[in-house]
Amino acid sequence: MVGEREGMSRRGLLRASLLGGVLAGCSTAPGGASFEAGPPLVPIRARPDRIVDIAVCLRPFRPAGPRVETERLGDTLVVHNYGHGGAGWSLSWGSSARAVRLAMQVSPAEVAVIGCGALGLTSAILAQRAGARVTIYSREQLPQTTSARATGEWTPDSRVALAQAAGPGFASVWEEMARTAFKTHRDYLGLPGAPVEWIDQYAVSNPTPRNRPSSDLNAPPAVDFAVYRDRIDDLAPKWRRLPADATPFKAAAVAQGEIMIFNIAGYAHTLMNDFFIAGGRFRRAEFHAPWQIAALGKKVVINCTGYGARALWKDETLTPVRGQIARLIPQPDVRYGLVYRHVLAVPRRDGIVVQSFAGGEMKGYGDASETADRAEAEQAVTTLAEVFPD
Ligand SMILES: Cc1cc2nc3c(=O)[nH]c(=O)nc-3n(C[C@H](O)[C@H](O)[C@H](O)COP(=O)(O)OP(=O)(O)OC[C@H]3O[C@@H](n4cnc5c(N)ncnc54)[C@H](O)[C@@H]3O)c2cc1C
């Protein structure tokens, strides 16, 4: 994530870039020579007519952080594992490891998992690895779920909790989940379909043109999202400043970092295969009340219903945070990410993801609309085009 290596969040960095502070805290590369010796940076063909998909989803945000705890429903032990905000993919293996530990305390031969997004699948696979037979019950499965509409970056503290609402022990729990997830993601590097990979990312900035208002972009968030990034600073290389003329971008200033990304289509495919190869079963089902889950008659159920838990478990603390991504036609030779003027580009294998962060980290907070905004997507792509030679 941009800015992580600088000790600031992506949101923080995006705000800072408008203030001209994009490079603060970066070390400086010794010169352009070694950079220029690398493979050439192929320009992104950033044109609105190349948008092939616009996807909207709701981040399942809980002020207190994800709910990973047990509850009794008659004879059934329910382990909750939902509410991961903008960090569901990133924290998945770590959060699911905690959930599966709770589930296996009663030594079940069989485990039911409700939900088949990032949290449901990783819980199911970890329960299989712990020796249980697993059935997933769900209304949808990947790639129909919210998880399939995520950006695909390692962003483990993105909108994961509110600083004031998260309990005093949550930061340590978060760190354990993030470190466990980071280690497990490493096992998916170098596999067919590149489910997980590392890429270079460039934060590029230019002075804001006079006619472009920037005050709303720099506005501080109305709620105080918790930031834990500095606890795992050791997990990735530091960002560094590059001489602007050492890159082909039309830019006044450039910083470079390395980030982990998830190629969501390939990753989802890999996880589904892993689950079925290990003997997993899938049953399509929709639940409207907890008693229907108890009626399954299972000893242990792991509840991974994401934002669906708001209606199903009456968890009114679950707050939707709407987000939208656009995908451009894939360019296999573009292997770097970019951040420029509140627009993020991620070179996923299934298309170059372009996402606008105009409006800051509060963007979409409390908004449950899943209607696509084509104008926003086109604006983001047009903004991105500014950094490439005509
Ligand atoms: C625009 C955007 C970009 C994002 N980018 C990133 C990113 O780069 N990195 C990152 O880590 N995270 C990102 N996120 C966050 C991430 O997408 C979520 O945290 C994650 O998808 C949540 O996964 P989940 O498995 O809990 O929920 P879901 O994927 O929503 O899965 C829930 C499952 O439960 C099922 N279900 C729900 N209710 C019921 C019911 N009543 N009965 C039966 N089944 C039910 C659903 O069918 C589904 O299978 C992003 C989110 C958005 C919106």
pLDDT, tens digit, for every residue of 20-43?
333 444 555 544 444 445 678 999
Q: From the CA of 187, how far away is ligand 1's center (Å)?
A: 22
Alpha-helix residue ranges (DSSP H) falling in the chain: 10-18, 32-36, 88-104, 118-129, 170-186, 215-218, 264-277, 290-294, 309-312, 374-385
Question: Span 66-92, mean pLDDT?
Answer: 97
Q: From the CA of 147, how far away is ligand 1's center (Å)?
A: 4
For the ranges 4-8, 189-193, 368-372, the lowest mean pLDDT is seen at: 4-8
- The first and second tokens of residue 158, run together, are 């993105």
The residue with greater pLDDT, 9 or 6, is 9
Dihedral angle over CA of 217, 218, 222, 225, nearest 10 = 100
Question: Span 65-74, mean pLDDT?
Answer: 97
Q: Which of 287, 347, 383 is nearest to 47 (CA)?
A: 383
- Render pLDDT for 327-353 as a digit per residue (tens, 0 to 9): 999 999 999 999 999 999 999 999 999
Q: Which of 11, 135, 138 to mutate to test the pocket of ligand 1 (most atoms within 8 A of CB)?
A: 138
Q: What is the CA radius of gyration of the chain?
A: 21
- Is 150 near ligand 1, meaning CB less than 6 Å away? yes
Q: From the CA of 142, how far away is ligand 1's center (Å)?
A: 10
Q: Is the dihedral of CA 271, 272, 276, 277 positive or negative?
A: negative
Farthest CA pair distance, the chain: 68
Q: Which of 245, 215, 252 is nearest to 386 (CA)?
A: 252
Find tokens 């050492």 and name the residue: 246
Which residue owns the Cα nearest ligand 1 atom 3?
150
pLDDT of residue 87 exceeding 90: yes
Q: Distance between CA atoms of 338 and 380, rounded to whole angstroms? A: 12
According to DSSP, residue 221 is labeled P
pLDDT at 11: 43
Strand partners, 257: 201
- The first and second tokens of residue 251, run together, are 């830019």
- Is 305 near ligand 1, meaning CB less than 6 Å away? yes
pLDDT band of 361, cuts 50, 70, 90: confident
- Render pLDDT for 107-144 as a digit per residue (tens, 0 to 9): 999 999 999 999 999 999 999 999 999 999 999 999 89
pLDDT of residue 1 exceeding 80: no
Strand pairing report for 27-28 and 240-242: parallel
Exposure of 358 by Cβ count < 10 A (0-12 exposed, 13-18 middle, 19+ buried)? middle
pLDDT at 360: 81
Q: Which of 147, 293, 355 to mutate to test the pocket of ligand 1 (most atoms within 8 A of CB)?
A: 147
Which residue owns the Cα nearest ligand 1 atom 14?
86
Q: Which of 146, 149, 155, 160 to mutate to test the pocket of ligand 1 (most atoms within 8 A of CB)?
A: 146
Dihedrals phi, psi of 179, to nearest 5 degrees: -70, -40
- Is 372 near ligand 1, meaning CB less than 6 Å away? no
Q: Distance between CA atoms of 185 and 333, rounded to whole angstroms? A: 23
Q: From the CA of 58, how far away is ligand 1's center (Å)?
A: 8
173-174-179 Cα angle (round to 5):
100
pLDDT of residue 206 exceeding 80: yes
Q: From the CA of 4, how far away is ligand 1's center (Å)?
A: 23
The residue with greater pLDDT, 26 or 273, is 273
Question: Span 263-291, mean pLDDT?
Answer: 97
Q: From the CA of 23, how far away is ligand 1's center (Å)?
A: 33
- The first and second tokens of residue 149, run together, are 């509409």
- Is 119 near ligand 1, meaning CB less than 6 Å away? yes
pLDDT at 389: 86
Which residue owns the Cα nearest ligand 1 atom 4?
150
CB 282 within 8 A of CB 135: yes
Q: Distance between CA atoms of 283 and 263, rounded to whole angstroms? A: 26
